[in-house]
Amino acid sequence: MTVNIQFCEPILNTQSADRQFLSPHIVYAALLLALVAVVLISICVGYRIYSIDQVWRAVVAFDGSETSVVIANLRLPRAIIAPLMGAGLGIAGVLVQTLSRNRIASPDTLGINAGASLGVVIASFWFGVSSLTGLSIAAATGALAASVLVFAIASSAGGLSPLRIVLIGVTFAGLGHSLVEVVLSTNEAQLSQLLFWLSGAFVDRPIALAQTGGPIIVLGAVIAIFLALPLDALQADDSTAIGLGVPLVLVRGLSFLAVSLLTGAAVSMAGPVGFIGLVVPHIARWLVGLSHRRLIPAAALIGAIYATLADVVARFVVYPAEAPVGAITAVVGGIALLVLLKRRAA
């Protein structure tokens, strides 16, 4: 039925032209280019700087020289893990912010990251799990438990109020960290190693991590894309969403699953890196708008760029030592959060 009846006075737009978004394809192309550039920088630049053909040779014609070894075993893994992990956390951030209808929520401020760390720490220290798949599963399980608990507690006694979610999340994060410490203090020998890991780092990561973590992140991303349309509707209040035919419980449950897979995989690869899931969705929204079919891919690309960049910066901020990436993202993210709060954009 395409009846174009105008049965009331049309409202005229008296305000100046609103911002319209660039075509998403342009945005994706630009982001993709930026990602490639940043990954190349990540491979080439660090304690030592390598040239592109050195990198090429190391990849294509590995010759056992120190350069090749460094590039293949140290730089390359990080350059793959960082963007994967950033993409995962970026998408998870979008999901969490939509689910909680709160632009300040993110997997780490909701304690989901802490849950994942706890899963890893318990699995490796108390159950002696050492296989990468096992640790990834442990991380995802911890993330799932945390996200379910947070939302369950937040929804009890009425409504997912932003205040309640934030406080619960912060408490969970604090609790998770404390529990991690309890477990760690039963095994002091590895404490200093884990201290670094606990802040989130890409250094010294075997490429095998990407082989287990990567597919899980892809799975999480696929689930997220499937949920894109109902997630759009979920931005409105619950009654409206139900009125539109959104199966709330199913969509929320699947979203939790996706968030857990994404966060779990990310944490198992690089430890709990914070604030990526907070800042990236905002940038993505600024670039492509609120439709999740665009938000999710955009957040993946932006997250990948952001994490890789942070990794590069981490190599220089306390040169010649390396800072944990989590510290960099926390400083940037914390400042970004302050800016967002100031502008009441959240």
Partner 1 sequence: MTEMLPTAAKHRSAMSLGAIVAVFGVLSLSTVAFGSTWIPFDQIVGVILGAGEKTQRIIVLQLRLPRVVMAILAGGGMAVAGFLLQKITRNSLASPGVLGVIDGAALGVVIFLALLSNESNALVTSIAYQPVAATIGAFLAITLVFMLSGRQASSAIRLLLFGIAVAAVAKALTVIFMLIGPIYRATQAQRWLAGAVNEVNWGEIQVTAIAILPIMVLALLAARRLPPADLDETSARSVGLNLPVFRILIFALAAALTALSVAFVGAVGFIGLMAPHLARLLVGRNVYAGIIASFLLGAIFLVGADMIVRVLFAPLEVPAGTVTAIIGAPYFLFLLMGKQRNDG
Partner 2 sequence: MTDNSSPRIDVRALSLSYGKVEVLQSLSLPIERGKITVLAGPNGCGKSTLLRAIRRLHKPTAGGIFLEEVDISRLGDKALARQIGLLAQSPSAPEDMTVEELVRLGRYPHQSMLQPWSPDDASALESAMAGTGVSALRHRRLGSLSGGQLQRVWIAMVLAQQTNVVCLDEPVNHLDMAHQLDCLDLVRQLKNAFGRTVVLVLHDLNLAARYADHLVFLRDGAIAAAGTPEALMTEENIARVFDVEARVITDPVHNRPLCIPINTIRP
Contact residues toward partner 2 (CB under 8 A) are 1-13, 15, 17-20, 101, 226, 229-230, 232-233, 235-237, 239-240, 242-247, 285, 289-291, 293
Rounded distance between C-alpha atoms, residue 152 and residue 147, angstroms: 8
Query: Which helix or strand (DSSP H or E) is residue 66 part of?
Result: helix 66-69
Residue 25 engages partner 1 in binding (rule: CB under 8 A): no
Dihedral class, residue 284 (left if φ above 0, else alpha if ψ from -120 to 50, else beta): alpha
Query: Which of 68, 97, 109, 260: binder of partner 1 (CB under 8 A)?
Result: 109
Min dist. Cβ of residue 247 to partner 2 (A): 5
String marking each residue 180-219 x if it binds partner 1 according to CB under 8 A: -xx--xx-x--xx--xx--x--------------------
Judged by CB, which is closer to partner 2: 68, or 100?
100
* Cβ atoms of 92 and 259 closer than 8 Å: yes
Cα dist from 88 to 207, 269, 288, 297, whole Å? 17, 11, 18, 11
Min dist. Cβ of residue 345 to partner 2 (A): 8
The window from 35-43, 138-146, 166-174, 257-265 that contacts partner 1 (CB under 8 A) reads 166-174
Min dist. Cβ of residue 307 to partner 1 (A): 15
Residue 334 engages partner 1 in binding (rule: CB under 8 A): yes
Give per-residue burial for 240-272: e unless 16+ CB within 10 Å, then b: ebeeeebeeeebbebbbbbbbbbbbbbbbbbbb
Q: Specify burial of residue 153 (Cβ count, 10 A radius: 0-12, 13-18, 19+).
A: middle
Rounded distance between C-alpha atoms, residue 135 and residue 296, angstroms: 26
Judged by CB, which is closer to partner 1: 62, or 319?
319
Query: Which of 16, 163, 245, 249: binder of partner 1 (CB under 8 A)?
Result: 163
Q: Which of the listed partners (partner 1, partner 2, none) does 328 bind, with a CB threshold of 5 to 8 Å by partner kind?
A: partner 1
For residue 257, what are its two tokens?
């699953």
Q: What is the DSSP letter of 236?
A: S
Residue 343 engages partner 1 in binding (rule: CB under 8 A): no
Rounded distance between C-alpha atoms, residue 36 and residue 292, angstroms: 24
Task: Write the DSSP string, 275-293.
Answer: SHHHHHHHHHHHHH-S-HH
Judged by CB, which is closer to partner 2: 10, or 320?
10
Judged by CB, which is closer to partner 1: 50, or 172?
172
For residue 115, what are its two tokens?
């849950």
Min dist. Cβ of residue 186 to partner 1 (A): 6
Q: Which of the listed partners (partner 1, partner 2, none) does 3 bind, with a CB threshold of 5 to 8 Å by partner kind?
A: partner 2
Residues in contact with partner 1 by CB under 8 A are 104, 109, 153, 156-158, 161-164, 166-168, 170-172, 174-175, 177-179, 181-182, 185-186, 188, 191-192, 195-196, 199, 274-275, 317-318, 321, 323-324, 326-331, 333-335, 337-338, 341-342, 344, 346
